Structure formats: C-alpha cells, structure tokens
Structure 1
Amino acid sequence: MKRAAVFSVVWLVEVFVALFMPRVQTHRLLLAPGIEPLRWTLGRWRAWRTAEQAARRVPAYRAYLAESGRASRLDTSGGIAGAFSTLPEMDKDSYVKRWSIPERCLDGRLPRRGVVVDESSGSSGTPTSWVRGPDERQATRQLLQLGFARTSEELPKQPFVLNAFSLGAWATGMNVTASLTESTMIKSIGPDRDKVVQTMREFGTDFTYVILSYPPFLKALFEDDRLDWSEYTIVCAFGGEGISENMRAHIEQYAHTVLGSYGASDLEINLGIETGFSVALRRAIAADPALSSALTKQGEYGVLPMVFQFNPFGYLIETNELGELVVTIARSENISPRIRYNIHDRGHVVRMRDLRPVLRSTGHADLLELAELDLPLLFHYGRSDLSVDYNGAVVAPDVVRDVVYGDPALLEAVENHRLISHEDAGGDRQLHIAFQLAAGAASVEGFDAAAARGAVVAELRALNRDFSNAVRTAPGGTLPTVAFYPYRTGPFRDDGRKLKNEYVWQLGASAVEDWDLDVSWTAPREV
C-alpha cells in the first residue's frame, strides 16, 4: 500500500481506539485470537508513521538522521522491515546524552501540563530523566489495567495489591500505583518486608493479595515466619530482573501464580508479560535440549531465556547483528519518541505461526492448548552490555573500574576485576565483586584489603543510586560480597588464556564451589 493509504488506515484505527479505549472490552478486541496478522501489520504501519513523524517534528531526531545521511521518509518498497533496518539505532550514549530533553521532544518543547518525570540511574550512576506525557501515561495505564483485569477475573477473593517496588522517582513503582489506583484496592509499600507483613496481618485473610516486587524480595518475604502463609491467598508479579525456575518453584509454594513483566525506564515498564503459556514453554525448553536448540540461543549465551508475550500493535521489536533487541514504540502520542532504541538487552522474537510447527515437530503440541493469546513471544537473555542485575538495579563493570581508578592504592594494587552473579543452593541470586591483586600487590604501600572492601561498596553506592537502594532493600542473606584474590587464584586462576578479560560471570549454584569464591565478607546496608 502507498504511504497516504497506510497512514489513513492507521489514523482510522487509532480514532476508533481513542473513542473506545477506556473500555477493557476494546483492549480485548485488539488482543482477540485469530487477528495476529492484522495486529502485526498495523503495528508496523504505526511504527512507520511514528518514525516519519519524529523525523519531521523532533529536532534531535531530525539532526540524528542528517548525521547518518538518512532521509526523513522511509523507502518501504522492499518491505517495512527492510526500511527500518536502514535507520540508525539510538541508545543513551549516541542519542539521549547528546541532546537536551526538549530537543528530543515533539516540536522541540515540553508540554506545560500533564508531564510526569521519572528517572533511572542505569549503570553509570548518572541519573537519566524520562518524560512521559498524558496520552502516553494513559495508554500505559490502560494496558496495565487490562493485564490486571485478566488476572483478577480468576481470583477467588477481592484483590488487594501491595506494591513493593521501590517508590519515589523510579519508573516502575510510581507508574504501577498511578495505573492501578482506579482499578483495584492498592497500598504502595515499597520493598519493606515489615510493612507487608503488618498490612496482611491487619487486613486478614479475606483478600487475594497481589504482591508486586523484585524476585529476591518475594523469596525473602515468604521465608519470614511471622505469618502463616498457608492462610493467605497470594498472587505474585515481579519485574526488574529475571527469575530461575527453581526460584519460581520456591515462591509457588506460597503463591498460586508467579508471573513476570519485562520493561525498562528507557522505554516502558510493561513491554511484555509472562503468561501461563510462556512459563510452560520456558519450562519445556529447560527440560528438552531439542526444543531449546530449535527455538533459543541458549547454547550460544549459556542462559535460559525469559519468555514473554508482547503486543506487536504497540511495539516493533527487532534483533540486530549483535543479537540485541532494538525497540520502536509505535504510538505517536509519546512526547519523546523512541525509534529503534537499543537498550542493550539480548533477545529475539518468534511469532506464534512459526512456533506452532516447532512445538508439533518436537512433541510439545500439547502446550498450544495453554495459549490463550496468539501474541508473539519475546525471548530475553539479559543484558548485552556486560552488566548484571542485582535486586532490580543494574551494575556494570565500568563503574567498578571507576572505583578502582579513583583510588591510588587500589589502582596500584588491583590487576583487574569481575562481577560474579550466581545462584546459591537456596535459590537466592547473589552478587560477588571480585578483584585480582597484581603480582606484587602484597607489598603495595598503603593498601589495606580489609578497609578497601568497605570503601569499594561505599563508592559504588555513591556512584550508582539504584545499587545503593538495592543494597538498602535487599533481603537478608543476599547482600553483595567483596573479596581480593592473590594473582591468578580463585575466580582468576584461569586468566590469561583468553585474549580479552572477562568482566562479568553468570554462574549456576554448582559452579560457585569450583571457583573458590571468598564470600566471608558481606557489604553493610548503610555505610
């Protein structure tokens, strides 16, 4: 179809949606089975329209395209996917940090009213503010309400949401509360276990408690023996980081449903969701190497991916040559458009039409009976930028490097460093910060390993506010550990065999013992 005809169709669809969108039934119509090709096509058309609108109306994006020699209009004669691949990717460094917030907005200005600002500090520790206009917030609110409505229909008792995500300027906590206030009974607690226990004890067992938080918090909560958890009806939703199936199984002893959401402050907090079908598929992938080989890159990345479903009407998600997700938000209402935004997460998309024959050929056709939504699947393998997740925060080896470089004694004593994320025998995700001492470090004047451990954590917390908050709210037994290892010992014993240093490790519980990790020193909550 020609540009004018496509944009006219998109306009008519969006007018219909705008008129009826407040009704959950309209959302359900858009997610109805059997119209997957229509959603897929309309989403691409919307992304096309939004990209060209950004090229016309957003000063920063217009300049960004000019730098790369791209035209403001896409040549879609070879298909929309091919046309989009010619547009430059954007990320924090290449786009966000180079232009001011107004320059990245429609018509180069911020609206006077209705704008909410939230922030993320990311891995660098420098806060990044994200602006969201009223139309964008309404769209996010309605989508969250739809997801909640689908869940609440199956709940045996009146739902009571306990929002235990971090509150304040962080995107998830404030947006969840704003979105669900109209739809349910909600208390915004933050990651405070005492307050969750107190609230549930006060309100009793006549509710279905929908507890929203990070996986480590949920696990620690249910290990608190102040409540008899068997007396309560509980549903858990998590975000901020992935979860192992061992961890999920542990939490499911207390909650009859445990589902995750995928999002990011850079984009939106709810790009994709886990469903009963996607969880069953993930478990089948974990148990069947043939299915894993057919659908995933687990062999390449060494990680069992999280599996989400997402609505292609709202997002165009690509995978670049490095295996990273590149996301375009298709809505035109966003005051600060994201066109081919690379958040540096590894992943890829599989449409249901391509999944069905794979499941049948590998003997898993029975899983299709669980697929209530024919939405495409998003396979997510974690960060690609050498970062690790810790209790909802992102920690990068670069910030550890900055700590070392900022201390003359550390700079002279330390050969290199490594962030080691591992799961212990109890299913808790742990973060170990390891430093390899230089060959002659023992004689470095002024270097005190015992004092350096506390100084490292204090400086990391000063540089990365999300990490500081994560340490403050971490469940007992999951605080970060720090150790200094003599040259070529412990986790560094095999260093030198590869051309490049490895700054991040993701280890399973069984692998930890093999590397002789010194986890005897635990970071204090407050420094």
Structure 2
Amino acid sequence: KDFKTIPTIDKNNYLRAYPLDKLCWDGQLKNNRWTISATSGSTGEPFYFPRTADQDRQYALLAELYFRTNFQIYKKSTLYIVGFMMGAWIGGLFTYSATRLLAEKGKYNMSVITPGVDKQGIIRAIEKLGPYFDQVIIGSYAPFLKDVLDDGVRLGIDWKKYNLSFIFSAEGFNEEVRDYILNIAGNKNTYTSTLNHYGTVELGTMSYETPISILTRRSALRKKNIYKDLFGDTYKLPTFTQYIPELFYFEEIKKTVICSAFSGLPLVRYDLKDTGGVYGYEEVKQIFKKNDINLLKSCQEAGISDTVWNLPFVYVFERNDFMVKFYLCDIYPETIKKALQQKELEKSVTGKFTMIIKFDKNKNQYLEINTELKARVKENIKLKNKVLLLITDQLLKENEGYRAVTKLIGKRAAPLVIFWPYEDPLYFKPGTKQKWVKK
C-alpha cells in the first residue's frame, strides 16, 4: 500500500535530471567494476547504463529456465549463435555474458559464437559448426532472422538438416512470422522452439515468452472475446510474457507498465513508457474459463503441460512514439507488418519497411511506405498494386481514424508505396536493426 505512494520516475524526471555518478548505487561510478551499455537513441540522445555481474546473473537465471524447459540443454549439446548487435548496445554482449555464466554454472554442453548482426557470419556458423551439435539456437531480431533464413534458401541451403530453434528480442512480431520461420526451419514445435524477450537497456531482460504465454496469445487471436478480455478493444498485438516478480516487480498504471528492480542503477517504480498491463496467473486462467475454455487442458492437448510456470504475465504493445500521425489518425507499424507478411507476398517482399509522413508540392500530407524487395525480385506495376491494395485494406480494416481520413480526402489517403532493392543502404542497410518509422 505504501509502496504505491512512491512517485514514478522516468528518463526525463530522473535519469536525465542528475549526473550519472549520482544515479549509481552509493553515488559511486568510478569506484566499481561496471559493464556499460548505451541506448540506441531511437527516442532521443543515447544514454549510458552501467551494470554489474549481478545483472548478468539475473539474466543467466531467466535464460537457464527457458534453455532447460524449452530446449532441454541438460541432455542436448547446443550451439548458441548470438545474432544480436555487439558493441556498446546491450543485446549481444549481455546475452553472451549470461549464456557463458549459465553454461559454466550448470556444466552444460553449450558453446557460443558471436557473429552479431552478420548474415553471412550466421549462415557460415550454422553450416560449418551446426552438424557437430544436437541443436542450434539462434538469438536475433525477428525481421533480421527471417532475412537470414531467406538468404540461406536462395543459396540452396536446406535448413531442415539442422535442428534449429530461435530466441528473439527487441521488438514484437505477429504469429505469421513465427510460423514462417518455423516452417522454413522444418520445426513443428510452435510453443517450445521459439520465444521472445521483453527487455530494456535500463533493466536488462525482464521477462520472456513461455509455451503457455504463446498458446494464450494464439488462442486469443482465434477467439475475439478472449482477445478483448485480455488486451482490450484494440487491433494492436502485444508481446505476452511471464516474469519472476521477486526479480522484476511490474505494475500497471493507466495502461502503462512500470517496473522496480535491482538494476545497475537503483530504479524504483520506473516508467518504461510502454503501453500494456499485468495479469496474475489465476486471472488469465479465469478469463479463459469465462469464455468456456480450460487453459490447462489446452496446454495438455498441446503437449506443453510440463512446461507451465505459475508466474504472472506482463504484456506490452508497440511504443506510442513508434508511429506516424497522418491527418487525424495514428498509424502503427503493426498494421503495415500484417499486410506485408501475408502469404501471397512472401516470395516478393521481405516484410521490412520504413514509414514516413511527407508533403507534396501543394503542401498536402501523404504517407510514404518504403518497402524492401526480396533478392533478385524486380519491381513491377502488378506487384506494386497488390502491395498497395493489401496495405490499404489492412488500414481500412483495423484503423477507424484512417477510415475517417479516407472519407475526408478520398484517394489522397492511399499510401505511396516505393520499392527498394534488397539491402539498399538508405532504408535497409545490412547489420542494423530495422527502423520502421522515420520522423
């Protein structure tokens, strides 16, 4: 009760308001042994966050739970390929440190290679090293990993020869992407062969998808009433994860997620600026029961009963600052992703794009969607019309504001689709995370 009276803090009113040394435990920056990571600066100037081995051990604990539960590393020799960004960014180095810690602690037959965001490096590692191990797990960003697999297919690689599984981070994705990646890999274990993290540079890896959370999300997509009861009346699809409250204490305030944790900097009731919410384990079961579904029975039928953790759930949507404002409506990347990831386009476009609001010579606003073609695919008017139709239909289907704009300005509401060659450096530079929105 008293804890809830503590004011919330965020980057602006706390982190940027004081010198970095004053923010550290005991006001000490120089007299310690830190690993320092930087934010990517996607929502402002980069900020530097120190952490200690304690945070590496926290991540190692979470990772050990899913490596044992999902991937059975206690009985399978494993090659983990770290395909996250190396350097000052947290993803790659943090993952490497935690993975080495858990491998040494548990005496697991687990080896790590760190090509980072390097497609050819990842492909070579799988081809040259994969056959020596019972399984290969790749950790990377979903859109980038999809490109890696597509490139491999184009090079004649049969991914089904390798026992591949996948760990994602940094952004959400829809279930079509999960299915696409598993299909290329020849892996049919929908619930145990992939998972997504929820983490930030401030607090590290806070939660992750479990088999029951994936089943819950997929069930909600099939049953509109469950979706509405869980996530509200929205077309946006959140990342849905479980967490250990003794390590990361989540709260929901006005549909915003805040967290308190033992991080490199003391952060109490830290506003993550993520829209979402928190559920207890029993609350989720009751939502399913209300809709005449026994969640645990569904887990049993899916063959994942032995993976279920009695842990609370946290869900987060795409951040509000990752969208464009087109006249009176907000357009989120999620809608465009759904359009470009439809099956009829999977041989033509990669699914990656960059949205920009521009103005024509008459100072009229328009929505430009820069879209990446797959390798060796040439643009043509038929493909452009198909992409435009799918994007427009998806916007009209789920965005009430866009429907209103279309009534208001007619054909001028239609996006301008511009195709770019595969890996064109202007919007699709290799080795970087995709920027879905440019402002």
Query: Is the shorter-chain TM-score for this pair beyond 0.5, marking a shared fold?
Result: yes
Pairing 1:315–2:248 present: yes
Q: Give the alignment of 1:4-403 within 5 angstroms.
A: 79=1, 83-110=2-29, 112-153=31-72, 157-182=76-101, 183=103, 184-207=110-133, 208-223=135-150, 224-225=152-153, 226=155, 227-253=157-183, 254=185, 255=187, 256=189, 257-268=193-204, 270-297=205-232, 299=233, 301-321=234-254, 323-329=255-261, 331=262, 334-365=263-294, 366-367=297-298, 369=300, 370=305, 372-384=308-320, 386-387=321-322
**CA 1:139/1:146 → structure 2, altered by over 3 Å: closer, same or farther?**
same
Question: How far does the alpha carbon of each residue in 1:186-234 deviate from its partner, in whole angstroms, 9 at most, with x for none?
Answer: 0001121111111122124242110000001121122122311111101
Q: Any conservation in 2 of the 1:279–1:307 contact (CA below 8 Å)?
A: yes
- Aligned pairs, number: 359
The one-letter code of the counterpart of 2:417 is: D
The one-letter code of the counterpart of 1:271 is: M
**CA 1:138/1:267 → structure 2, altered by over 3 Å: closer, same or farther?**
same
Question: How far does the alpha carbon of each residue in 1:445-493 deviate from its partner, in whole angstroms, 9 at most, with x for none?
Answer: xxxxxxxx9xxx9xxxxxxxxxxxxx9xx9957xxxxxxxxxxxx999x
| 1:524 Cα deviation after fit | 3.6
Residue aligning to 1:70: none
Distance 1:292 1:143 in 2: 27
Distance 1:351 1:259 in 2: 20
Instruction: Output the TM-score relative to the length of structure 2.
Output: 0.73
Distance 2:161 2:98 in 1: 29
Q: Any conservation in 2 of the 1:418–1:434 contact (CA below 8 Å)?
A: no
Larger Rg: 1
Pairing 1:432–2:354 present: yes
**CA 1:438/1:516 → structure 2, altered by over 3 Å: closer, same or farther?**
closer
Equivalent in 417, 429, 432 of residue 518 of structure 1: 417
Q: Any conservation in 1 of the 2:130–2:136 contact (CA below 8 Å)?
A: no
Give unmatched runs, 5+ long, in structure 2.
Answer: 104-109, 376-388, 393-400, 406-411, 430-439
Which of structures 1 and 2 has the larger relative contact order (alpha carbons within 8 angstroms, sep 6+)? 1
Distance 1:293 1:441 in 2: 39
The one-letter code of the counterpart of 2:195 is: L
| 1:244 Cα deviation after fit | 0.4
The one-letter code of the counterpart of 2:314 is: L
Q: Any conservation in 1 of the 2:239–2:316 contact (CA below 8 Å)?
A: yes
The one-letter code of the counterpart of 2:167 is: A
SS at match of 1:107: helix
SS at match of 2:69: helix
Distance 2:223 2:229 in 1: 10
Distance 1:431 1:89 in 2: 35
Q: Any conservation in 2 of the 1:415–1:436 contact (CA below 8 Å)?
A: no
Question: How far does the alpha carbon of each residue in 1:414-444 deviate from its partner, in whole angstroms, 9 at most, with x for none?
Answer: 99998762120346543333334266359xx
| 1:127 Cα deviation after fit | 1.3
Residue aligning to 1:460: none
Q: Any conservation in 1 of the 2:81–2:139 contact (CA below 8 Å)?
A: yes
Q: Any conservation in 1 of the 2:215–2:299 contact (CA below 8 Å)?
A: no
Residue aligning to 2:381: none
SS at match of 2:200: coil
Distance 2:332 2:57 in 1: 40
Q: Any conservation in 2 of the 1:117–1:131 contact (CA below 8 Å)?
A: yes
Give unmatched runs, 5+ long, in structure 1.
Answer: 1-78, 389-396, 399-413, 443-452, 458-470, 478-489, 493-500, 506-512
Distance 1:357 1:214 in 2: 33
Q: Any conservation in 1 of the 2:136–2:163 contact (CA below 8 Å)?
A: yes
Cα root mean square deviation, aligned = 3.4
SS at match of 1:355: helix
SS at match of 2:36: strand
Distance 1:368 1:437 in 2: 51
SS at match of 1:519: strand
**CA 1:475/1:159 → structure 2, altered by over 3 Å: closer, same or farther?**
farther
| 1:156 Cα deviation after fit | 7.3
After superposing the two structures, state which structure 1 stretch, 124-133 or 187-196, moved more.
Answer: 124-133
The one-letter code of the counterpart of 1:234 is: L
| 1:157 Cα deviation after fit | 4.1
After superposing the two structures, state which structure 1 stretch, 216-225 or 307-316, moved more.
Answer: 216-225
SS at match of 2:272: strand
The one-letter code of the counterpart of 2:229 is: A
Distance 1:135 1:155 in 2: 24
The one-letter code of the counterpart of 1:310 is: Y
Distance 1:140 1:130 in 2: 16
| 1:346 Cα deviation after fit | 0.9
Distance 1:347 1:312 in 2: 17
| 1:133 Cα deviation after fit | 2.2
After superposing the two structures, state which structure 1 stretch, 287-296 or 275-284, moved more.
Answer: 287-296
Distance 2:75 2:264 in 1: 40
After superposing the two structures, state which structure 1 stretch, 122-131 or 132-141, moved more.
Answer: 132-141
SS at match of 1:383: coil
Distance 1:335 1:516 in 2: 44
| 1:380 Cα deviation after fit | 1.7
| 1:107 Cα deviation after fit | 1.9
Q: Any conservation in 1 of the 2:278–2:312 contact (CA below 8 Å)?
A: yes
Identity of aligned residues (%): 20
| 1:154 Cα deviation after fit | 6.2
